Amino acid sequence: MKILITGAYGQLGNELKVLSKNYPNWEFVFTDVDSLDITDEEQVKSYFADNNFKLVINCAAYTAVDKAESDFETAQKVNALAPKLLAKYSKTIGAKLIHVSTDYVFGGDAHLPYSETDDVAPNGAYGKTKLEGEQNCQAENPETVIIRTAWLYSTFGNNFVKTMLRLGKERGELGVVFDQVGSPTYAADLAAAILKVAESEEFVPGIYHYSNEGVASWYDFALAIFELSGVDCKVKPVLSENFPTPAKRPAYSVLNKAKIKGTYQLEVPYWRDSLRVCLDKLASDKI
């Protein structure tokens, strides 16, 4: 099976690259903007015509949540137009599509984990463009699986875990918000789930949710990072209003994963267990 993976330089794309070595019978093609501009219709059309892909996994996204508020045009091109083109031209060659989306499509005011059928109500430009991307994928290619995730981190790229490790070693005390709740998600676990969907004999189109098990605030997440890594830094819980940002963050981002676990027989790791794995890998990589 020949598989195209876009956004190869991102956290998820890099984790898929690592796991691709476990699938020697599959041919993986990894691209990013330097090798394939997925916002350019002629490029996408020509690239798909020249390659007999059976599956496209779109990991590319404009994830600068605050910057998207002032750069809506670029965010829309990457998060809405590009998925539309990937869906359109994957359908022309008979390829299935797995598209990665976000918890930001919800308003963040729930009190129970969001299911796939709950009403969407994005607050800002990032969430609005990602929702448009979901809708475009489903409209252009019926053979699409959309996987919404949240609070992604990895040994690759820039993320909350790496930021906390750096700041924790530089400062004796940090203030971290405690009134935003979600599920920290290790990108390596999400990558493994995506490939489990890809290899399933029954590819069931639709929207799914995936994050690690358990619930935490950013404050809890930071405490765990320092505890498990042995960094001596005091964490002070603060309200979100003390950190005003251009884009409003969801107060509640917990996702109900029953559908993806049931459909694809997935076992989802607990967030602290996966955080320990990631931190151990970061520590060993520095040796």
How far the first Cα of the chain sits from its last, in Å, is: 37
The C-alpha angle 75, 12, 253, rounded to 5 degrees, equals 70
Strand, coil or helix: what is 136?
helix
CA distances (Å), origin 153, targets 128, 147, 197, 271: 22, 16, 21, 11
Q: Are 54 and 95 in contact (CB under 8 A)?
A: yes
For position 101, what pLDDT does the model report? 98
How many angstroms separate the CA atoms of 64 and 12, rounded?
A: 16
Assign residue 232 a region (left: φ > 0; alpha: ψ between -120 and 50; beta: otherwise). beta
Strand, coil or helix: what is 58?
strand
Query: Exposed e or buried b for every residue in 106-117, given b needs 16+ CB within 10 A?
Result: bbbebeebbebe
Which DSSP string do the residues of 157-171 spell out, in sequence order? SS-HHHHHHHHHHH-
How many angstroms separate the CA atoms of 132 and 124, rounded?
A: 12
Tokens of residue 101, six digits: 């989306």
Q: Please give the average per-residue pLDDT across 72-90, as a whole number.
A: 98
Q: How confident is the model at residue 1 (pLDDT cuts 50, 70, 90)?
A: very high
Q: Please give the average per-residue pLDDT across 144-164, as a whole number.
A: 97
Q: CB within 8 A of 9, min separation 6: which ones?
A: 32, 157
For position 252, what pLDDT does the model report? 98
Q: Please give the average per-residue pLDDT across 230-239, as a whole number.
A: 97
Assign residue 114 a region (left: φ > 0; alpha: ψ between -120 and 50; beta: otherwise). beta
For position 285, what pLDDT does the model report? 81
- Digit-coded pLDDT (tens) for 116-134: 999 999 999 999 999 999 9
Q: Please give the average per-residue pLDDT across 235-251, as a whole number.
A: 95
Q: How confident is the model at residue 140 (pLDDT cuts 50, 70, 90)?
A: very high
9 tagged catalytic:
no
What integer best gives the mean pLDDT of the chain?
97
Position 167: which residue type? L
Does the pLDDT of residue 287 top 50, yes or no? no
CA 277 to chain CA centroid, nearest Å:
18
Q: Are 184 and 216 in contact (CB under 8 A)?
A: yes
For position 286, what pLDDT does the model report? 65
Percentage with pLDDT > 90 across the chain: 98
- Digit-coded pLDDT (tens) for 172-201: 999 999 999 999 999 999 999 999 999 999
How many angstroms separate the CA atoms of 41 and 43, rounded?
A: 5
- Digit-coded pLDDT (tens) for 276-286: 999 999 999 86
Position 102: which residue type? T
> Choosing from 47, 89, 114, 126, which is the catalytic residue?
126
Tokens of residue 137, six digits: 């994928």
